[in-house]
Each structure stands twice: as C-alpha cells, then as structure tokens.
Amino acid sequence: MRLFAIGLSHRTAPVDLRECVDFARGGVDVALSALASRGVGPEVVVLSTCNRAEIYAVGDSDATAERVGRFFSEYHNVPHARVAEHLYLRRGTEAARHLFRVAAGLDSLVVGEPQILGQVKAAYSTASDLHYTGALTNRLFHSAFAAGKRVRTETGLGEGAVSVSYAAISLAKKIFGHLKGRSVLILGAGEMAKLTGVHLQAQQVKAIAIASRTFSTAQNLASTLGGRAVPWEALDDALAEADIVITATGAAEVVLSRTRLEDAMRPRRNRPIFIIDIALPRDVEPAAGNLDQVFLYNIDDLQSIVQENLARRGGELRRAEAIVEEEVARFTSWMQSREVVPTVVALRQRFEAIRQGELARLEPKMAGLQPEARARIDEITRLIVEKLLLTPTEQLKALNDETTVVAYADALNKLFSLTARDSAPVIPDAPGDEGKDRTDATPSPGSRAGT
C-alpha cells in the first residue's frame, strides 16, 4: 500500500483553474464519496483551500494516482488536458514531505501564514468523520499536525505582520491592547480610506467617524461602513474622542499640524492616540509624532515594518524546513517498518507452508513412530524454519530507505513467489530429497531460533 498526494496549488496552477477545481464549493464530503465510488480508497483525504486542491490517497499502484488525477477533471467537468499539466504527483515519503510543508505554512502563498494548519485539520476531520481514513492516513495527518505545530511554536516563521493593513492593526493592538471599544476617525473618503475602514471594522471597533471636506462623500462612506459622518468644521472635537486616526485625504497641504494635535491632546488628558497617515503627500506634520502620547506612523513606516518581517521570516525558513525533515524522517521510518510487515508475514507463511507440506508428504514414512518422536520431529522442523527466517526478518525490519525496502520486497516476492496480500499458504511441490535433508537437520545448540 502506497501513499499518494495528487493536486494543484498556487505554485502550479493559475487562479481561474484553481477556482474550477475547488472541492469545497460542492462539499468535501460529496467529493469524498465520489472518490470512493470510483474505487479510490479506502483511505482518502481531500484538502481544498482557495490556494490549493489536493487529494491524499492510499493505493496499490500508480493506477490509484492515475484515477485520482482523472477525478480532478471528471468531477469538475474540466477537460483533462487543461488540468493534467498543472497537477503534481508525490509518492510515499515525498507525499508526506509535501503535506508536512503545507501544514507548516511553507508551501503557502504568504509563507508562515497560520490558517493553513486549521484547514488541514478540518480536511482530515471531515474525512475521518466519514470513515475515509485508516492507519496510514491517521498517522500521516497527525504527524503533519505535529510538524505544523512545532514550526509555529519553535520558529518565528508566523510572526510579524506581512501586509500593511495587518501591520497597522497589530501596532494598534500593541498600543491599546484589544481594539474592541476603541473609536476610529477616518479623514478622507477615498478608496484607501474605505479599505482601511473595512479592516478596522473587522476588529470590532466601537465607532467609526468619517470626516471629509465634502460632507456628502463622508456621508456615503459612513453609510457603507456603518459609521458616522463628521462635518469638517467639527474635526477637532472628533480628534479629541478618537483613539485611532486614519488620514487619507488628497489635500496638498498638511491637515493635522503639530500645534493642532497638541491642542487636541489637552482635553484627552494624555490618552494615547495612534495616527496612521496613508496619504501622499502627507496629511500629518511629522513633528507631531514627537508629542508624548501621539503614535504617528505613515505608509512608508508600515511598509518598512512589513519588509523587515518578511526578511526575518526568510531567516526562520531554514529552521522550519529542518523541523519538517525531522518529522518526515520519523514518519518515514514508521511507514517503512509497516511496509515490510506484509513481506515478512508472507515469507513466514510460505516457509511454514513448505514445512507443513513436507510433513504431510512424509506422513506415511513416519507412521510407525511414537507420538513423542513425531512431536520431536515437528518441533525440530519448526525450529529450523524459525532459525532460517530470523536473520532475513531482522535485516528487513532494519531497512530505512524506501527504495531498498521496495527492492528487497520485490526480490523476495520473486524468489519465493510470495503474494504479500494473499495470506493463503501455497503448498509447493518440493523435491523429495530436499525434504528429507530438512527433516534430518537438527538445530545447533544455543541457537536463538524459536525465541
């Protein structure tokens, strides 16, 4: 049984194609049952986010992967040729490494973003609730969660804002604690003002006031944001109330001078104010930032914070990749110890079958023996088989590289004509003299056979 990961992501497919093959739209549960009806499974997990669509499946051969690949186009009624060139296929360890990197946020559009781990967990629990997961996928996904969690707690990969609006909000939180109950004043009613207003609204601020030189545009924006329009003349009163001020007017001259802000701070009794100047040219006199409780940031300041955070994330990448590799190694060794088990079992069954067959064949010759002697013969032959199998079994279990495991398993399958999944013993036609030799053999003293 091998593990496959088939899918496409922002790295391989354009956004319009990603939208076409979105499994979440029709419900991941529906997709899972459609996969099952096409004979994929029993273990299959569908991961669908806005940046990726991936299917993790367990199957005997690449035929499973092929079937899953076709499923992408068939299920979404997209020509296969259009999808095929964007699909990637990962097998075994590579599939695990891929999932671990995804869960750790290393494969995300914004590297280190934290949402993806939750999305991977949701994908797994959907599949698990519908009983589409088994031993291999359970272990795979729990290892992926561990890798994602370790990367998040042991590295600074997810730290620091990497977009200007997020940088502004995290700064505001560092000043005010949480933003619930804080009031916001927006100067200007343009597109930038609106965008920032929407971001702040999502933080559940108490009130948003909008002031613009033309009252009607302020009113328009106020109605879309659910805020309150303030006449331009009442700006100073609004300043006295606001905690966070966004300035985005198109004015050519400074709107908030240092002296104006100094006056506004007096009735505030030094309550801190956070001013974000996203206008160009600037709306706020830079010297206003020297006032005690005035925290003034302009768009360039925010931009450089974002750049620094991105650079810092780059440094953490190597540590994150190392953690993923550790988890991959751990998972792989588990997977391989599991992979050799069927071969070991088949080998033992094969040898036991030969022994039983020989005993049955020699039955007429042993008819005259005492039950005690017959029991001794049975014991001796069993010990010989055990001893013969001991070293190969140990060697197989010690293998730690996937290709070798597969090669050894193949060789054993051919040499002993094993069928790993077929547990029914095959009774061979062994040559008679060989059989006789075996029954004559005795285990050497001190042998570890049978232990």
Partner 1 sequence: MHLLPLVLYAAAAAAYVAHFAWRDARTGRLATGTLGAGVLAHTFVIGMQTMEAGHAPLVGTSAAISAFVWMLGLSYLYVELTSDERSMGMFVALLMVLLDVIPALDPAITPRPPLLQSPLFTIHIVSVLFAYASFALAFVLGLTYVLLFKEIKAKQLGFFYMRLPSLQALDVMNARAVTVGWLCLTLGVAVGGIWATQVQASPDPRAQAMSVTDPKILVALVSWAVYSFAVVARRAAGWSARRAAYLSAIAFVLVLLNFVPIGYFLTKSHNF
In the complex, minimum distance from the CB of residue 186 to partner 1, in angstroms, rounded to a whole number = 22
Segment interacting with partner 1, rule: CB under 8 A, options 138-146, 204-212, 295-303, 342-350: 295-303
In the complex, minimum distance from the CB of residue 227 to partner 1, in angstroms, rounded to a whole number = 23
Binding positions for partner 1, 143-172, rule CB under 8 A: 153-154, 156, 159-160, 171
Contact 145, 324 (CB under 8 A): no
Interface with partner 1, residue 173, by CB under 8 A: yes
Interface with partner 1, residue 295, by CB under 8 A: yes
Residues 6 or more apart whose Cβ sits within 8 Å of residue 145: 103, 117, 120, 121, 124
Pseudo-torsion of CA 33, 38, 43, 45, nearest 10°? -60
In the complex, minimum distance from the CB of residue 207 to partner 1, in angstroms, rounded to a whole number = 18
Please count the residues of the chain: 451
Query: Residue 50 catalytic?
Result: yes
Angle (nearest 5°) at CA 47 between 44 and 53: 115
Structure tokens, 336? 């391989």
Binding positions for partner 1, 253-272, rule CB under 8 A: 269-270, 272
In the complex, minimum distance from the CB of residue 95 to partner 1, in angstroms, rounded to a whole number = 30
Exactly one of 11, 25, 80, 174 binds partner 1 (CB under 8 A); that residue is 174
Binding mask of the shown chain, residues 308 to 337, with x at each position contacting partner 1 by CB under 8 A: x-----------------------------
Interface with partner 1, residue 175, by CB under 8 A: yes
In the complex, minimum distance from the CB of residue 336 to partner 1, in angstroms, rounded to a whole number = 30
Q: How far apart are CA 376 and CA 373, in angstroms?
A: 5
Selecting among 15, 30, 50, 411, the annotated active-site residue is 50
Interface with partner 1, residue 293, by CB under 8 A: yes
Interface with partner 1, residue 114, by CB under 8 A: no
Q: How far apart are CA 149 and CA 143, in angstroms?
A: 10
Cβ atoms < 10 Å from Cβ of 253: 9
Segment interacting with partner 1, rule: CB under 8 A, options 24-32, 91-99, 118-126, 174-182: 174-182
Residues involved in catalysis: 50
Where do contacts with partner 1 occur on this chain (CB under 8 A)? 153-154, 156, 159-160, 171, 173-177, 269-270, 272, 289, 292-293, 295, 297, 301, 304-305, 308
